[in-house]
Structure formats: structure tokens, C-alpha cells
């Protein structure tokens, strides 16, 4: 330990000792610090508040509430650089965020018709593929996906039979040498990478077929395009227990913005949280809601170091990267009208500016296109100047539309979720072979340190509703421990298997 950090640690320990003797602030129950004011942290706070825990302090690193739900003014309109869709709509169960989005807040939203995409696949050197030709390939991929689902349904609940999507495709002799043509490749990309932000090689079959979000809440996805921003949803939940101004912004002393948490000291008696500006806050408990990517970095030092099982769990999961690049043009030159919104570039390089979206209804007159890249391409574009990215994207458009006078983009926006030390990626992806056991470990508390966030969601990791539900679940774990003396128990990796065997 460096001398300076030794002094800091000693100071924190002294604060910790002082904190034990300080009387609890007014209100029932303990003092709880929540690190992060994204969906899950705000949702956890709401649950605690409803349970009567009033002594809350939320520390947020950035200057805003919302985290990965983030509107950004681009070329005169607010676009979403983070979460955009309510995914899982129109099913048997109601996605818990859907009534808030579609009714309470009335956020403008649009059903996304992804089926139409087969008619809009562009060849590498321009012009469209025949719809029938693409549809046939799509149908075959649907069949293979269904076979994969059947295979997954037979698997041991422990995850020990799990395999990658890629291995499953090989088992059914689907594209044994990889996608044979650019169109095969882009359809595969559309199906997997465009949703999970990682290629089929890295994605678990067992957790993907089916994906709980769609199986439970429905197959539809609604694109939120509201000038108030999708983040309004987080502000709305915050407003149920924190003071807001007329514009709906949280203005409450229990929320502190621009507070970058760097250290968390914990022992059996309490916690001390230190921030980059050298503030220190003591409490009875802390809930850490930062992303998996942040947990995998050294931004927050835990003292003592987290136990090995926790570190192993944190590194078992993948933080994927999904990047929505926005381009503004002086005029429209792309096809518009029903079924034309999503179009695809079939490059021979996987994931190279493949998935395009236009916004005639969402942002009328804005002349904005969005192109999505993921994973390696995301990291690459984050590391190059935006002008280079703009030039590449416009060159792709010129190849797609060879007979058309494609003007230069007048503006570009490239979000940098991966480089941003407060996020380090876009959302978690479920790796091969893990089951609820590893998930339980990821969300399990360590002493008085609790964890929440999208990545700790029991069934819906990677989604806004997952973050929302995870916040409540983690708060419940804390509430149960404090008020009912019921400790969170990590279910064994083979528990489900044993239960099944006993039932036989």
C-alpha cells in the first residue's frame, strides 16, 4: 500500500469508527448510500423509500440522472444515444415499464417493423437483393433458431450442456464454414449481434433461445422518440420520492451529482464511501449500481478487496459494446415510405456499417440516419476521429446507392460508451455455461455492500426493464436482511438439477 493511500485508509477507518457512534438520522431504519442514479439505482431507492427507509443518499458521477438512458441534441432534435426501445411488448405478461412509457408519461413511441428488412438488403456494390432470395435465407435461419430452441429446452439447468449460438448452428449444419455470402453474414448479424452486441461465438444458446424478455413480455419492440427523452422514465420514478422542479429535474439534497465514488470501506459495522473530490460519507449500507464494465475496472476501490468468488463472478460476464452512430444530411436521398425504415448493407466484413435506420415519422424533417455497429467495430470507431467514421459511413451509403447523388453528412455523433469510465460498454451479455448460480453471485451482497444494475437482473439483463426490476430486487434483499433478518442465499449451481431428480 502506498503511504498516501494508507493514510486515506486510516482516515476512513476512523470515520467508520465515528460513524458507529453517531445517532441514526431521522426515519425508520438504516442510512443507505446508493452509488449511481441510472434506472436501477433510482428504482432501488424508490423501493427502499416505500419500505420506510428514508435516510438515503444517492451519489452520481455525472451531472445528470438517467445513466445509460440518455437523450442528446443532434442537429436540432433529441435522439437517444443509449436505450431506445421498450423491448418485449404485446405478450402475455406486461413489461413493467410499458404502462409508464405508453400511458402515464405518454412518451411518443413507434412499433418497429423488423420483418420488412428482407426487402431492404443492399449488395456490397449497390442495389437491392431480391426479396425472395433474402426471405429464403431468413426462413432457413428461423428454422435453425427454432431447432436451437428445442435443443436448449433439453439442457441441464446447471448450464453444463450450454454452447454458443455458433456451435448450435454447426450442429444443424447451418453455414458450416461460416456465413458463405455477405447476405448470410448480415442476416446472422441482424439476428444476434444487433440484439446482444456480441457475435454468436460469444453468446449463450441456453439464455438466448428463448430470450426471457420476448418469451415473457412479447416479441414487439417500440422505439421511443420523444423530445423529453426516454430518460424521463427515470426522472418520473425519482420524482416519486425525491423533490423535482417544474421541469421534472431532480432537485433534492439526497441526490448529489458530479460525485465520483472512488473508495468503499466496509466492515461489520458500516460503510464509508469516498469520492474523487475528497468527500466522505458514512452509512450503514451501500448499494452499488454501476455497470458491469465499471465493476471490471479500478474506478471504485473496495476495502477490503472483494472476496475471490465475487471477483470471479464479476469477470465471468461480458460487457458488450453497442454504438448508435448518427449522421445528419442536408437532404433526404434514401428510400422512404412504409417498410423502408430499416435497411441493411451486406458487407463482406462482418458488422461493417450493416444496420441502418431512418426517421421520417420519429424526427420529421431532421434528415438524420442512424447506423449501428457493435463489439470490435464499436471499439475501433471509438478510437478514431469522428471525421474518419463519418467518411466511412458516407462511403458505405454511396456504395449502397450508386446511381444517387449522396451528399456529405453535415454532422456526425459517435457515442463512446466503451471509453467512458463511468460505463465501459453498453450492456452485459450472458456468457456460455453460466446459470442462475453465477448470476446470484454477481448480485449477492458482500457484507454491507449490495449490488444492483442491469447485469444483476434475474431474467432481463441488458434491458431497461431489467435494470428497473433489478433495483427493486436488490432493495428487497437489503430490506429482508435488515427488517426480517433473512439473508440472501446464493442458490447452488446444481440445485435445480437436484430438485428435478428428487421429483422423479
Ligand X SMILES: Cc1cc2nc3c(=O)[nH]c(=O)nc-3n(C[C@H](O)[C@H](O)[C@H](O)COP(=O)(O)OP(=O)(O)OC[C@H]3O[C@@H](n4cnc5c(N)ncnc54)[C@H](O)[C@@H]3O)c2cc1C
- Cα 126 from chain centre: 34
In angstroms, the Cα distances linking 323 to 82, 175, 222, 372, 376 are 8, 27, 19, 6, 11
Closest contact distance (angstroms) between CB of 87 and ligand NAG is: 13
DSSP assignment, residue 115? G
Binding of ligand X by 69 (CB under 6 A): yes
* 59/118 with CB nearer ligand X: 59
Beta strands per DSSP E along 183-317: 220-224, 255-256, 261-266, 271-275, 280-283, 285-288, 301-303
| Interface pick for ligand X out of 145, 318, 454, 473 (rule CB under 6 A) | 454
* 182/425 with CB nearer ligand X: 425
| Interface pick for ligand X out of 87, 193, 195, 220 (rule CB under 6 A) | 87
* 44/183 with CB nearer ligand X: 44
* 163/414 with CB nearer ligand X: 414
- Cα 317 from chain centre: 13
* Residue 102 interaction partner, one of ligand X, ligand NAG, none, beta carbon < 5-8 Å per kind: ligand NAG
Binding of ligand X by 119 (CB under 6 A): no
Binding of ligand X by 322 (CB under 6 A): yes
Told to judge if 87 belongs to the known catalytic residues of this protein, a careful annotator would answer yes
* 91/335 with CB nearer ligand NAG: 91
* Residue 439 interaction partner, one of ligand X, ligand NAG, none, beta carbon < 5-8 Å per kind: none
* Residue 47 grid cell: 423501493
Residue numbers 252-271 binding ligand X by CB under 6 A: 260-261
Binding of ligand NAG by 86 (CB under 6 A): no
Q: Rounded distance, CA 142 to CA 144, Å? A: 5
Binding mask 8-47 for ligand X (x = CB under 6 A): ---------------------------xxxxxxx------
Angle, CA 135 vertex, CA 129 and CA 139 arms, to 5°: 145
Number of residues that bind ligand NAG (CB under 6 A): 3
Residue numbers 45-64 binding ligand X by CB under 6 A: 59-62
Classified as helix, coil or strand, 355 is strand
* Contact (Cβ atoms closer than 8 angstroms) between residue 281 and residue 272: yes
Binding of ligand NAG by 78 (CB under 6 A): no
Per-residue b or e along 228-256, where b marks 16 or more CB atoms closer than 10 Å to that residue's CB: bbbbbbbbbbbbebbebeeeeebebebbb
Binding of ligand NAG by 89 (CB under 6 A): yes
Query: What residues form DSSP beta bridges with 266?
Result: 271
Residue numbers 401-440 binding ligand NAG by CB under 6 A: none
* 20/104 with CB nearer ligand NAG: 104
* 91/447 with CB nearer ligand NAG: 91
Q: Rounded distance, CA 496 to CA 116, Å? A: 41
Phi, psi of 218 (to 5 degrees): 115, 160
Binding mask 91-110 for ligand NAG (x = CB under 6 A): -----------x--------
Closest contact distance (angstroms) between CB of 42 and ligand X is: 7
Closest contact distance (angstroms) between CB of 213 and ligand NAG is: 15
In angstroms, the Cα distances linking 443 to 31, 269, 437, 439, 457 are 20, 21, 10, 6, 8
Residue nearest to ligand NAG (CB): 102
Residue numbers 417-446 binding ligand X by CB under 6 A: 417, 422-423, 426-427
DSSP codes joined into one string, 128-178: BPPHHHHHHHHHHHHHHHHHHHHHHHTS-TTSTT--BHHHHHHHTTSSBTB
Classified as helix, coil or strand, 276 is coil
Q: Rounded distance, CA 192 to CA 210, Å? A: 12
Binding of ligand X by 318 (CB under 6 A): no
* 82/88 with CB nearer ligand NAG: 88
Q: Rounded distance, CA 319 to CA 197, Å? A: 9
Percentages (nearest 5) of helix, strand, coil residues in the chain:
35, 20, 45
Classified as helix, coil or strand, 109 is strand
* Residue 10 grid cell: 486510516
* Residue 90 interaction partner, one of ligand NAG, ligand X, none, beta carbon < 5-8 Å per kind: ligand NAG
Binding of ligand NAG by 90 (CB under 6 A): yes
* Residue 157 interaction partner, one of ligand NAG, ligand X, none, beta carbon < 5-8 Å per kind: none
* 105/400 with CB nearer ligand NAG: 105
Q: Rounded distance, CA 140 to CA 150, Å? A: 16
* Residue 89 interaction partner, one of ligand X, ligand NAG, none, beta carbon < 5-8 Å per kind: ligand NAG
* Residue 62 interaction partner, one of ligand X, ligand NAG, none, beta carbon < 5-8 Å per kind: ligand X
Q: Is 3 exposed, middle or buried (0-12, 13-18, 19+ CB in 10 A)?
A: exposed
Q: Which of 87, 145, 362, 454 is catalytic?
A: 87
Catalytic residues: 87
User: Which residues here bind ligand X, judged by CB under 6 A?
Assistant: 35-41, 59-62, 67-69, 82-85, 87, 260-261, 289-291, 294, 299-300, 322, 324, 417, 422-423, 426-427, 453-454, 462-464, 466-467
Residues lying near ligand NAG in the complex (CB under 6 A): 89-90, 102
Amino acid at each position: 500500500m502506498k503511504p498516501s493511500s494508507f493514510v486515506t485508509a486510516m482516515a476512513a477507518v476512523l470515520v467508520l469508527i465515528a460513524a458507529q457512534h453517531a445517532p441514526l438520522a431521522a426515519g425508520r431504519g438504516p442510512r443507505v448510500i446508493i452509488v449511481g442514479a441510472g434506472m436501477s439505482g433510482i428504482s432501488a431507492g424508490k423501493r427502499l423509500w416505500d419500505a420506510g427507509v428514508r435516510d438515503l443518499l444517492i451519489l452520481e458521477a455525472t451531472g445528470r440522472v438517467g445513466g445509460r438512458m440518455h437523450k442528446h441534441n443532434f442537429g436540432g432534435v433529441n435522439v437517444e444515444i443509449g436505450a431506445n426501445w421498450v423491448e418485449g411488448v404485446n405478450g402475455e405478461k406486461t413489461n413493467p415499464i410499458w404502462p409508464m412509457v405508453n400511458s402515464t408519461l405518454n412518451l411518443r413511441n413507434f412499433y418497429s417493423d423488423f420483418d420488412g428488412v428482407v426487402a431492404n438488403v443492399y449488395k456490397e456494390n449497390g442495389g437491392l437483393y431480391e426479396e425472395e432470395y433474402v426471405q429464403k435465407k431468413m426462413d432457413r435461419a428461423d428454422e435453425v433458431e427454432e431447432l436451437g430452441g428445442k435443443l436448449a429446452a433439453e439442457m441441464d439447468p446447471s448450464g453444463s450442456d450450454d454452447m454458443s449460438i455458433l456451435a448450435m448452428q454447426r450442429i444443424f449444419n447451418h453455414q458450416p464454414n461460416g456465413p458463405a455470402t455477405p447476405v448470410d453474414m448480415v442476416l446472422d448479424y441482424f439476428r444476434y449481434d444487433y440484439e446482444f452486441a456480441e457475435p454468436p461465438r460469444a453468446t449463450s444458446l441456453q439464455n438466448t433461445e428463448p430470450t426471457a424478455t420476448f418469451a415473457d413480455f412479447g416479441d414487439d419492440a417500440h422505439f421511443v422518440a420523444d423530445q423529453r427523452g426516454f430518460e424521463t422514465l427515470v426522472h418520473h420514478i425519482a420524482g416519486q420520492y425525491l423533490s423535482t422542479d417544474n421541469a421534472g429535474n431532480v432537485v433534492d439534497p439526497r441526490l448529489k451529482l458530479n460525485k465520483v465514488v472512488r473508495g468503499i470501506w466496509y466492515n461489520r459495522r458500516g460503510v464509508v464511501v469516498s469520492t474523487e473530490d475528497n468527500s466522505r460519507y458514512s452509512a450503514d449500507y451501500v448499494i452499488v449500481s454501476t455497470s458491469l464494465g465499471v465493476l471490471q475496472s479500478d474506478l471504485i476501490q473496495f476495502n477490503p478487496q472483494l472476496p475471490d468468488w465475487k471477483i470471479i463472478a464479476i469477470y465471468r460476464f461480458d460487457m458488450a459494446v453497442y454504438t448508435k452512430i448518427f449522421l445528419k444530411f442536408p437532404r433526404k436521398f434514401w428510400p422512404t415510405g412504409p417498410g423502408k425504415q430499416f435497411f441493411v448493407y451486406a458487407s463482406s466484413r462482418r458488422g461493417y456499417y450493416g444496420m441502418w435506420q431512418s426517421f421520417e415519422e420519429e424526427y420529421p424533417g431532421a434528415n438524420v440516419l442512424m447506423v449501428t455497429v457493435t463489439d470490435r467495430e464499436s471499439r475501433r470507431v471509438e478510437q478514431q476521429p469522428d471525421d474518419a467514421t463519418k467518411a466511412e459511413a458516407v462511403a458505405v451509403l454511396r456504395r449502397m446507392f450508386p446511381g444517387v447523388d449522396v451528399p456529405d453528412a453535415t454532422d456526425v455523433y459517435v457515442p463512446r460508451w466503451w471509453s467512458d469510465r463511468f460505463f465501459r460498454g453498453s450492456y452485459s451479455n450472458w456468457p456460455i455455461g453460466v446459470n442462475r448460480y453465477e448470476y446470484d453471485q454477481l448480485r449477492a451482497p458482500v457484507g454491507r455492500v449490495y449490488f444492483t444494475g442491469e447485469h444483476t437482473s434475474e431474467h432481463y439483463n441488458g434491458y431497461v426493464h431489467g435494470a428497473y426490476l433489478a433495483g427493486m430486487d436488490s432493495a428487497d434483499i437489503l430490506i429482508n436482511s435488515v427488517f426480517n433478518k433473512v439473508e440472501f442465499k446464493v442458490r447452488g449451481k446444481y440445485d435445480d438439477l437436484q430438485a428435478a431428480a428428487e421429483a422423479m
